[in-house]
Amino acid sequence: MHIHITFEHNRGIVYRSKSSKTGQIAAIKVCSRDALNVDEEMKEVDVWKNLEHKNVVNLISFELSKSHLFLVTEIMNGGELFDAIVARGEKIGYTEQWARKISVDIVNALAYLHENGVVHRDLKPENLLLSEKENFVIKLADFGFAGILDKTHRELHDRLGTPGYAAPEILLEKDYGTEVDMWSFGVVLYILLCGYTPFDDEDEDEQDRCIVGGIYEFDDEDWGHVSKEAKDLVRKCLTVNQSTRYTAKQVLSHPWMKVDLKSDKILHNAHGNMKKYTARRRLKRAMHTVRASVKMRLSIGSGSFKAKLEALKKSVDSETLKVDGV
């Protein structure tokens, strides 16, 4: 059996499926149990299945077999956020106003999660997807690292996240809550406005030192055309002190998020920098995909994998779904 791999996403492979009757398209993320902590992965399902918001990718169904975990989600035809920004910039230009509109969708998702006691803990470009290529909505995906805050667990302490996006308190192994997501948003916002990360991503030790110290700068060459309101919001989110870091609600009330910009200049440098940044990420993704492809092909030779995938496809909307390449 040959399976076409759409792309690798964190701990699994994502396939594209299409209903033979209605044409409905869905995504199936397949994770090998050999590479999973099953209890942790089921926590992801328990969190994700209860979420319903326009800026959160919808989990349609799931299945756990002896060898794999299958997650069926709505398809995101617009792809990843930064790839879309690069493509748009080539056509009509990338502006601060567009960055603001993107930010509103991201923070609306975070506000919803935080109101429901969910901490995402892995906000980064790869987990920000577009519903469509045009007239899109930004949606937050992948809840593999998500944590729950409730009456018995008011704080989290696991050292989880992606290097470069994880908050200082995570690196320092301190207790934390929803504020770690707001730090990650600050990193994403910084990239949206200038096209590269605020902290050195070539040297991980130096990166961690700068994160813990809150050391970053607004280089005039790349930030000279960015509004003072935008820079102020970045500072409010990239605040080392957890207690004074802006919450999602505070971000949504910030002047930069609420008012359309009278002068909306094209961020030429940001687009060019992001094009380079995205190219580096794409290369790393390709390398991960090759490794994941080899591992997955070793496991899909079994009849149990094919049978479970076929059964799952039928359960999505009581119809037979066809997976590309299968």
Q: Which residues are catalytic?
A: 122
Exposure string of 180-203, with b = 16+ CB inside 10 Å and e = fewer, is: bbbbbbbbbbbbbbbbbbbbbeee
Give φ, ψ of 225 to 5 degrees: -100, 0
Give φ, ψ of 147 to 5 degrees: -125, 160
**Rounded to whole angstroms, what are the CA distances from 286 to 8, 12, 16, 28, 36?**
8, 14, 18, 19, 21
d(CA 75, CA 65): 23
d(CA 287, CA 44): 26
**Rounded to whole angstroms, what are the CA distances from 10 to 13, 29, 70, 143, 214?**
8, 10, 14, 11, 27
How much is the CA Rg of the chain, to the nearest whole Å? Answer: 20
